[in-house]
Amino acid sequence: MANTLFLRLEGPLQAWGERARWSVRDTSTEPTKSGVVGMLGCALGISADQDLADLSRALRMGVRCEREGDFLTDFHTVIGGVISAEGKVKKDTVLSRRTYLCDASYLVALQGKTELIERLSKAVQKPVWPVYLGRRSCVPAKVLYEGEGDFDGLLDALQRWPYQGKLVDEDDRLRVVVDVDAGQGTQRRDEILSNSHRVFLPRYTREHRIRPVTLQEVD
pTM of the predicted model, to two decimals? 0.88
User: What pLDDT digit, counting tens, does each position of 63-113 carry?
Assistant: 999 999 898 888 767 666 666 667 676 666 777 788 999 999 999 999 999
Three-state DSSP string of 79-139: EEEEECCCCCEEEEEEEEEEEEEEEEEEEEEEECCHHHHHHHHHHHHCCCCCCCCCCCCCC
Residue 166: its pLDDT value, please? Answer: 81
Q: Where are the beta strands (DSSP E) in the chain?
A: 4-14, 24-25, 60-67, 70-83, 89-111, 145-149, 174-179, 186-194, 199-210
1 has pLDDT over 90: no
Indicate the CATH number for domain 4-70+101-218: 3.30.70.2660
**Percent of the chain at pLDDT exceeding 70:** 89
Q: Looking at residues 120-134, what average pLDDT do you find?
A: 97
CB 116 within 8 A of CB 59: yes
Q: Looking at residues 149-175, what average pLDDT do you find?
A: 90
Under 8 Å CB-to-CB from 171, ≥6 apart: which residues?
A: none
Residue 168 neighbours by CB distance under 10 Å? 6
Residue 198: its pLDDT value, please? Answer: 83
Of 10, 52, 8, nearest to 196 by C-alpha is 52
Residue 107: its pLDDT value, please? Answer: 98
Residue 197: its pLDDT value, please? Answer: 83
122 has pLDDT over 70: yes
Domain boundaries, given as residue ranges, for the chain: 4-70+101-218
| Higher pLDDT among residues 172 and 90, named by residue | 172
Q: Name the range with the highest mean pLDDT among 65-74, 109-118, 159-168, 205-214.
A: 109-118
Of 207, 190, 212, 208, nearest to 199 by C-alpha is 190
CB 108 within 8 A of CB 40: no
Residue 7 neighbours by CB distance under 10 Å? 28
Residue 89: its pLDDT value, please? Answer: 67
User: What pLDDT digit, counting tens, does each position of 5-23 carry?
Assistant: 999 999 999 999 876 665 6
Residue 132: its pLDDT value, please? Answer: 95
**Percent of the chain at pLDDT exceeding 90:** 67
